[in-house]
């Protein structure tokens, strides 16, 4: 059976090399006052052989209970924006929702994406 496979498929030209992935992300929380905080963030994704993608976001939190924000994804002609909001159930769990809006180039093919979030904060 191994001979049949080798005859049908060229097994000498296969390359099992993985492409390098580089992820750089950062965020910082600024306390505006005792009830409101703002958190700008960025996420840079780079894969060898693919276009680099950069995400920028800003999130605001009220009384450490509810939060809302926007994210903007830049990937040349495939940019998109997302609106998000959520609720911190307690110090450990949160839930959220995000709606991603497509760029003008892809809006003819899909109307957007819905994402639901269940977050778990692990203890230190």
- For the chain, the first-to-last Cα distance in angstroms comes to 53
In a domain, 65, yes or no: yes
What is the domain count for the chain? 1
pLDDT digits (tens, 9 = 90+) for 30-82: 999 999 999 999 999 998 888 889 999 999 999 999 999 999 988 766 788 99
Q: What share of the chain is helix, strand, coil (3-state, %, to 5)?
A: 10, 55, 40
Distance CA 82, CA 56 (A): 10
Give the domain extent around 93.
Answer: 16-120
In a domain, 50, yes or no: yes
8: confidence class by pLDDT, cuts 50, 70, 90? low
Asked if residue 109 has pLDDT above 80, the reply is no
Share of residues in the chain with pLDDT > 90 (%) = 56
In a domain, 93, yes or no: yes
For position 49, which CATH number holds? 2.40.160.40
């Amino acid at each position: 059976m191994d001979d049949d496979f080798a005859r049908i498929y060229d097994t000498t030209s296969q390359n099992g090399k993985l492409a390098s992935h580089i992820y750089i992300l950062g965020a910082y929380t600024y306390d505006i006052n005792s009830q409101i905080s703002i958190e700008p963030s960025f996420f840079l994704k780079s894969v060898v052989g693919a276009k680099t993608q950069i995400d920028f976001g800003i999130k605001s939190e009220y009384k450490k209970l509810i939060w809302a924000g926007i994210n903007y994804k830049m990937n040349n002609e495939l940019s998109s924006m997302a609106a998000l909001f959520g609720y911190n159930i307690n110090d450990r769990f949160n839930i959220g929702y995000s709606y991603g809006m497509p760029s003008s180039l892809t809006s003819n093919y899909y109307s957007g994406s819905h994402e639901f979030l269940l977050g778990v904060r692990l203890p230190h």
